[in-house]
Amino acid sequence: MKIKFLGGAQEVGRLAVKIQEGNTKLMVDYGVIPEKPPEYPLPYEKVESIFVTHAHLDHIGGLPMCYQTHRPDLYATTMTANSMRPMLEDSIKIMDIEGYPKRFARDDINTLYEMVITSRYGDSSQVGELTATPYSAGHIPGSTMWKFENNMDFLITGDLYTGDTNLLNGAKPVKAETLIMESTYAGKNHVDRQQVVARFRERVKEIVDNGGKVILPAFAMGRTQELLMILATMDLKVASDGMGNALTNIYLDTPGGFLRSRSELKRAVGRTRQIRNNRMRMNALEEYDAIVTTSGMMDGGPVLRYVQELADDPKSAIFLTGYQVEGTNGRSLMETGVLNIAGAPVRPTMQMDFFDMSAHAGHDDLVSFVKEVDPERIILCHGEQREKLVEDLGEYEVILPMNGQEFEI
Ligand SMILES: [Zn+2]
Ligand SMILES: [Zn+2]
């Protein structure tokens, strides 16, 4: 088997893995690093089929570019296929607004969708000499670990979370000889999730009891819905705004067992008001105690409008729950207390807090996962500090590939 990372080997983002086994050539993901402007993987190399692990842009952001010269089959779970379209269309919008080089157009997205073959977890497909089966990766709804088998077998995790949340059950290990695994949190562990959620609930209650509002910047996929499910168990008036609403509706409309409990998500959404236009937005701060809204790193979206309105209210709060990438407004707010709204610096007097609700397995979780998969060799990718895992994986052959380097196993 020959493997070549076109991106995402020694970095978090733009994952693109080309794999050749016998005469079968396939690729897993073709993402971007969502910088300003985005960074793309090495140029697409022709394959017969592309397998998608999940709908985050660092795994799908460049996919339409693979459909400009020919038409590989695209395998994804139904949930991933349904979630991808708003993300890809939004990328085109951002290219236009920001004046970034136009790397693909709406037609390329349409071509891609003509080639989509969807599946549920556990349903196998025959692709050339390989049998491909998707398993839940526990990261966001629809997220997939793909297992490929013929006389040998390998498992590629995509992004992985092994704990249970309100929205999803954690990934269960699948036996494989070769494991290609993400390593975002190599060297770092998370605080226990239940403790984080308990402190989050306490802090939200404290702010609201004291007459303040809580603004919750949240990623559209997964985090928005998880927060709505946590807030639904509290006696609060909750609203949600931005692209998260579109994804919530896609999650509720996609059957196939991709959620831990569709009825519980539905109940949480039933207790939430979806803000759909500026008129509703005007009154939202008077009516609601907590607003869950995009963007998760505060670089755009309705969140900025709410923060601007509440900026001088020390009773209100901004609670961040997701990793804030360097260079984003969210990171700047955490580090300096200042963010940029429409070109002007704003220093809110609102309270600030951070809750680690990461959707990536921590260091020790990755090590336990490997032990249960019990592979002969491990290929680590999607991480900046992969070497930190190596000593805890001493009993296995560990490969740390680099982008652009083809190797054979
Ligand atoms: Zn992801
Ligand atoms: Zn990722």
Cα(159) to ligand 1 centroid in Å equals: 5
pLDDT tens string 301-327: 999 999 999 999 999 999 999 989 888
pLDDT at 326: 85
pLDDT of residue 87: 96
Low-confidence spans in the chain with pLDDT less than 70 = none
Distance 242 CA to ligand 1 centre (A): 19
pLDDT of residue 325: 85
Long-range contacts of 302-309 (CB under 8 A, 24+ apart): 302/241, 302/242, 302/275, 303/215, 303/217, 303/241, 303/242, 304/329, 304/339, 304/341, 304/342, 305/281, 306/215, 306/241, 307/215, 307/339, 307/341, 307/346, 307/348, 307/350, 308/341, 308/346, 309/285
Fold annotation for 193-354: Rossmann fold (3.40.50)
Report the C-alpha gap between 99 and 101 in whole angstroms.
7
Domain locations in the chain as residue ranges: 2-188+359-408, 193-354
Looking at residue 35, its pLDDT comes to 84
Report the alpha-carbon distance of residue 66 to residue 63 in Å, rounded: 5
Instruction: Output the CA 206–ligand 1 centroid distance in Å.
Output: 32
4-57 pLDDT, tens digit per residue, is 999 999 999 999 999 999 999 999 999 999 888 999 999 999 999 999 999 999
What pLDDT does 250 receive?
Answer: 98
The CATH code of domain 2-188+359-408 reads: 3.60.15.10
Ligand nearest to the CA of 83: 1
pTM value? 0.97
Ligand 2 centre distance from Cα of residue 149 (Å): 24
